[in-house]
A and B are shown apart, each in its own frame.
Chain A
Amino acid sequence: MADYKAPLQEIRFVMNEVFDAPALWASMPRLAERVDPDTADAIIEEAGKVTTNVLAPLNREGDEQGCKWDNGNVTTPDGFREAYQTIVEGGWNGLGGNPEFDGMGMPKTLVVQFEEMMQAANMALGLAPMLTAGACLALDAHGSQELKQKYLPNLYSGVWSGSMDLTEPHCGTDLGIMRTKAVPQEDGSYSLSGTKIFITWGEHDMAENIIHFVLAKLPDAPKGPKGISLFLVPKFLVNDDGSLGERNAFSCGSIEKKMGIKGSATCVMNFDGARGWLVGEENKGLAAMFTMMNYERLGVGIQGLGAAEASLQSAREYAFERLQSRAPTGPQNPDKAADPLIVHPDVRRMILTMKAYVEGGRAFSTYCGQWLDIAKFTDDDSHRKQAEGMVALLTPVAKAFLTDRGLDVCVIGQQVFGGHGYIREWGQEQLVRDARICQIYEGANGIQALDLMGRKVVGSQGALFELFAEDMSAFIEKEQGNPALKPFLEPLAASLERLSDVTEHVLEQAQTDPNAPGAASVDYTDLFGLTALAYMWAKIVVAAAPKAENDTSGFYTGKLKTARFYYDRLLPKTVSLAEGIRSGSESLMRHAANEF
């Protein structure tokens, strides 16, 4: 197993050269005062060190040991406590947090880079800061000033960690039917009772306090999703002076035995009249959750990307070291018994597929980060509107496409290892098991696809899609005279046209067939993601081409060749997807239940 090394050159290339993030930051006053290129670079450098030296070495042992439950307490794997402490000392939990409450206020274009490194190094542990940051977003956006002052600084510092409690045994996707109850108390607090499952890092020994954000129903709340409220429920009650008081009335009933991310605790949480405080308005809990959803879902997409990067690093190293059979055109390594795997065309196909998805995926996550930054920091109303629309549209793609490709890449990375890929000590199979959850949680990818196709595309009558199409068209227009892009622009325009045609087709179908969006959704998300990645690779070419001319390192010429590979070998998947979508919903809906 190759030890994970944060790919700093790649990350800097995407952030600075492909997207010129420093120029973006400088263009928005509220960001310009907080971050400059030197600060950002120092953060990237330090993030590389922490993730490479502290988090990555614990990854495999975390998988082997897992978390242990004993009478309500959860013990984390060896070294996790200390590593989490390092994260606290570095202030990493609050990297993107609100400075008013001691967050660092860094832009998402930078934060996504840290997130990728953290998730690549150790996804199980990385979930704790990720969920804490998500909880902070909800609290910051909807909590009262009092709640924010009391909880945010310690959450940003990581002295306390956060946890999101949504799912119940009978409901995950369909939260409208949840049963956990919140009864108002005389002092303005609420008493919460019910059972929540799949609560990641719901209980552990790494932080002094754990702040749960719990969805529950008030007495007489309307039925369905419009009757859900959000509550802050601390493990230890917090006194007015900020010190920790008595233990709240809830506990971890058990932890799940699961396929992967074993270093993290997946908890059953039992609330028995626990004291909680309302966050935001009554019955608006789901809406409050949605404010953090865009960040959280991109974060899960980045988990897929991170796992893929880790798998790529190992597979690439193995392909260069492992000697097996001769190249079809004659021995390349005549002094040895066989040639390294990398000489074989099909092994190259596997490695390049991984590389194209990982590097294209990194650009895509940064692209999403860019729109999140604009949405949050611009002072220009129309620009903000555009950015908000883009974020809404791109978020489900980032979550589903990056995690679907993330798993694919990890499976390929395992395949490169042959039989050794199946053996635990090499680490490749762990990445597959870990990455697998990303397709499921934070809204299964089928749900993301419905969100994209139904709510975003059809729901806006195609208006949101137009934003993306316009952005791509503008790029194509602008680069017409760029000789480096010559081989790419035509297929790029064709793939945009294909996506636009299919979009129109589904919009039309949806008018008469309510099942049309659901029948198209997953293929559509793939099609969208592949087209977006073609766009990303074209952007990469724009950045790399001028430097490729005198490039002896191979870094920039390699980018051009990988772009070529992506266009010739991966983008053609869009052809099949478009055909499948056009077949409509009939072939899915005609089976009666007894005909399966």
Chain B
Amino acid sequence: MPEYKAPLRDIKFVMNELLNSEQHYASLQNAEDATPDMVDAIVQEGAKFCEQVLSPLNQVGDREGCTWSEDGVKTPTGFKEAYQQYVEGGWPSMTSDTEYGGQGLPSSVGIVMSEMVGTANWSWGMYPGLSHGAMNTLEAHGTEEQKQTYLTKLISGEWTGTMCLTEPHCGSDLGTLRTRAEPNSDGTYSITGTKIFISAGEHDMAENIVHIVLARLPGAPEGTKGISLFIVPKRLPDEDGSAGERNAVSCGSLEHKMGIHGNATCVMNFDGARGWLIGPENRGLNCMFTFMNTARIGTAIQGLGAAELGFQGSLAYAKERLAMRSLSGPKNPDGPADPIIVHPDVRRMLLTQKAVAEGARAMIYLAAQQSDIVVRGKTEEERQAADAMLGFLTPIAKAFLTEIGYESANLGMQVFGGHGFISEWGMEQNVRDARIGTIYEGTTGIQALDLLGRKVLMSQGEALKQFTKVVHVFCKENADNEQLREFIEPLQTLNREWGEITMKLGMTAMQNREEVGAAAVDYLMYSGYAVFAYLWARSAKVALDAMVEGTSEEAFYDAKIQTARFYFKRMLPRTRTHVETMFAGADTLLGLPEEHFAF
């Protein structure tokens, strides 16, 4: 099993050098605590916890899985204790409102911790991760009383939270959900129905679990406009706020699944459970959307983590494993063969993972800075601009990163040859765990529709223009830099093309609405590669500047430039295919009558 080492040097590069976080935090309101020293200390401390406590439990979690009994769900050995340490370390409260016990740090600081937790042990990280959905809901829509009762406990980590959306017959299409909420005379509601795929829905790590449940009120309008949100705690809070008597909600069973075995995926049965309305009636889905972006960035991290973990494991292996000689003559003449890192194709696999992991880190941290500004920007104008930018980046980050993160995990496994298929090496677990990333929190297909349909075309291309303008400015600023030419020129061309294809898609979509769905995934992937091109060009510039100024870390910066070059030469050409296929037209998809798909 690869032992996870937090990539602190690259984390610092992205935060401080690429995204200039010192200046960023100084530009926010209520972010005085986020000084460089403070952030650095937090990251160091977090890295230790992830490396020493969480990483060793990753394989244990996969092997043991969760076990269900009438009394509840037992998590794998060590999970509970690790959570206890996490709570004692104050990690759950890092980015929450100080009024309810939080430490009030900007969410981008939390994202760094989420990356390290998620890479070290994704299954474990989902337990505290899911609490964030519940916290966000309460923060944005809860009454003061609800906040005092539930939010404080979630922030302290004493309780965890879940989001209960999916039902057996509906996942993407929540408009058809059936769980009912009947008003009681005391102002509470009685919730009845079955929810499936509820991650962390039941476990033994915390004394209470706060479910945020989507359900329908009697007489609610059909479809998505008749859904309301309810708080349904596993144990009802006593007068003094502690977890009291058991509510009528229970875990009916656990799913047997491909990966993330350490996390409990629950069928939750609500049998007249007591719940409290949160937010206005029938506005549940809108309320959810207020923090959907944050949640989806959280899932995007899985793509980053899968690439990073696979990269770390396969890099170590590629340096150790001896097989065959280099094509240009022996590199390890004293040994029976050369280490496999000498072979061009092994390098292709390693560099793809490296380009994905580091590019993903840059993309996620960039999005996280936008979410900081949405909350703490000094002017309304700044906040709105950041919100639009975040809305644009979110579906790209979620879908693109989980797709190429999965690809990377597979490459990491491939480097190991036959050993990659064997459980003890941990690489196949990484693939199995990563596979869920492109499915939950809105599949890739759904994200693509969100990006092209809702974000880009519905804003008449504004959402895209905001981003391409940033790229354009960057290109212009560096137009005269000879050494950057190999990056700036293709980036500029790509940036222009991005606008053109968007306009063209908008036109075809006006003729035929099916064209949006037919082009969406290609458009999303294209956009992902384009954002990466911008971030890699910028990384190359930062590295080049550092080398010009003089540095003791020549190798580090040189590697940045080399990897940027690899990205531009070897990965960016993928955009050629996406351009061509996104304009292949909906006919090629819709021409075949349904009854002719199979014989």
A residues engaging B (CB < 8 A)? 7, 9-10, 167, 170-174, 176-177, 197-198, 256-260, 313, 316, 320, 323-325, 328-329, 337-338, 340, 342, 344-352, 355, 407, 411, 414-415, 418-419, 421-425, 429, 432-433, 436-437, 439-441, 444-446, 449-450, 514-515, 517-519, 521-522, 553-555, 557-558, 561-562, 564-565, 568-570, 572-573, 575-577, 579-580, 583, 585-596
Contacts and interface: CB of A to CB of B under 8 A. Distances in A.
B513 A591 contact: no
Given A572-B580, A583-B569, A595-B555, A198 B418 contact: yes
A576 B170 CA distance: 38
B521 interface: yes
Nearest to A445: B414
Interface string B540-570: 0000000000000001101100110110011
Top 3 nearest A-B pairs (CB, nearest first) are A554-B596, A345-B517, A518-B344
A553 B596 CA distance: 8
Contacts of B584: 568-569, 572
A313 B599 CA distance: 10
B472 interface: no
B576 interface: yes
B517 A344 contact: yes
B580 to A, nearest CB: 4
A587 B586 contact: no
A588 B421 contact: no
A518 B171 contact: no
Contacts of B570: 580, 583, 587-588
Interface residues of B, number: 99
Interface in B433-490: 435-436, 438-440, 443-445, 448-449
B382 interface: no
A561 B431 contact: no
A444 B592 contact: no
Nearest to B166: A419
Contacts of A429: 257-258, 435
B588 interface: yes
B530 to A, nearest CB: 14
A346 B517 contact: yes
B516 interface: yes
A346 B258 CA distance: 24
Contacts of A446: 343, 345-346, 349, 414
Contacts, number: 277
A514 B258 contact: no
Contact of B518 (A345, A440, A514, A515): A345
Contact of A422 (B258, B347, B520): B258
B421 A580 contact: no
Contacts of B586: 345
Given A173-B324, A439-B414, A565-B589, 18 more contacts: A316-B597, A325-B175, A328-B516, A328-B517, A345-B520, A411-B406, A421-B439, A422-B257, A422-B258, A423-B256, A432-B258, A440-B418, A440-B420, A515-B344, A519-B345, A572-B581, A575-B576, A575-B577
Interface of B: 166, 169-173, 175-176, 196-197, 255-259, 315, 319, 322-324, 327-328, 336-337, 341, 343-351, 354, 406, 410, 413-414, 417-418, 420-424, 428, 431-432, 435-436, 438-440, 443-445, 448-449, 513-514, 516-518, 520-521, 555-556, 558-559, 562-563, 565-566, 569-571, 573-577, 580-581, 584-586, 588-599
Contacts of B438: 415
A171 B445 contact: no
14 contacts: A256-B423, A316-B597, A328-B517, A345-B518, A347-B445, A415-B443, A423-B258, A429-B435, A446-B346, A558-B596, A568-B588, A569-B581, A575-B580, A591-B347
A173 B417 contact: yes
A172 B323 contact: yes
Contact of B323 (A9, A173, A197): A173
Contacts of B443: 415, 418
B227 to A, nearest CB: 14
Given A429-B258, A565-B588, A521 B176 contact: no
Contacts of B520: 345-346
A419 B171 CA distance: 8
Nearest to B427: A259
Contacts of B598: 313, 316
B172 A418 contact: yes
Contact of A324 (B172, B354, B410): B172
A360 to B, nearest CB: 15
A69 B417 CA distance: 24
A174 B418 CA distance: 13
Given A328-B514, A329-B513, A436-B431, A562 B197 contact: no
B422 A432 contact: no
A346 B449 contact: yes
A352 B438 CA distance: 19
Contact of B591 (A198, A342, A564): A564
Contact of A518 (B176, B327, B432): B327
Contacts of A554: 593, 595-596, 599
Given A345-B517, A433-B258, A440 B414 contact: yes
A351 B354 contact: no
Contacts of A518: 327, 343-345
A592 B576 contact: no
A422 B598 CA distance: 24
B58 to A, nearest CB: 16
Contacts of A340: 594
A415 B444 contact: yes
A445 B197 CA distance: 35
B428 A424 contact: no
B54 to A, nearest CB: 22
Given A258-B421, A324-B173, A557 B596 contact: yes
Q: Chain B CB within 10 Å — which of A7, A407, A588, A594 has the most?
A: A588
Given A328-B514, A345-B586, A346-B520, A596 B432 contact: no
A351 B598 CA distance: 11
Nearest to B521: A346
Contacts of A444: 414, 417
A591 B355 CA distance: 13
A437 B435 CA distance: 16
Given A346-B449, A348-B589, A259 B428 contact: yes
A258 B421 CA distance: 6
B493 to A, nearest CB: 13
Nearest to B327: A514
Nearest to A350: B445
A514 B328 contact: yes
A522 B348 contact: yes
Nearest to A579: B573
Given A415-B443, A419-B197, A589-B344, A337 B176 contact: yes
A414 B348 CA distance: 27
A440 B517 contact: no
Contacts of B350: 596
Contacts of A198: 418
A338 B173 contact: yes
Contact of B566 (A167, A436, A588): A588
A352 B589 contact: yes
B395 to A, nearest CB: 13
Contacts of B351: 587-588, 591, 596
A325 B423 contact: no
Contacts of B558: 595
Nearest to B557: A595
A569 B580 CA distance: 8
Nearest to A518: B344
A589 B345 CA distance: 10
Contact of B336 (A177, A422, A445, A568): A177
Contacts of B421: 258-260, 436-437, 440
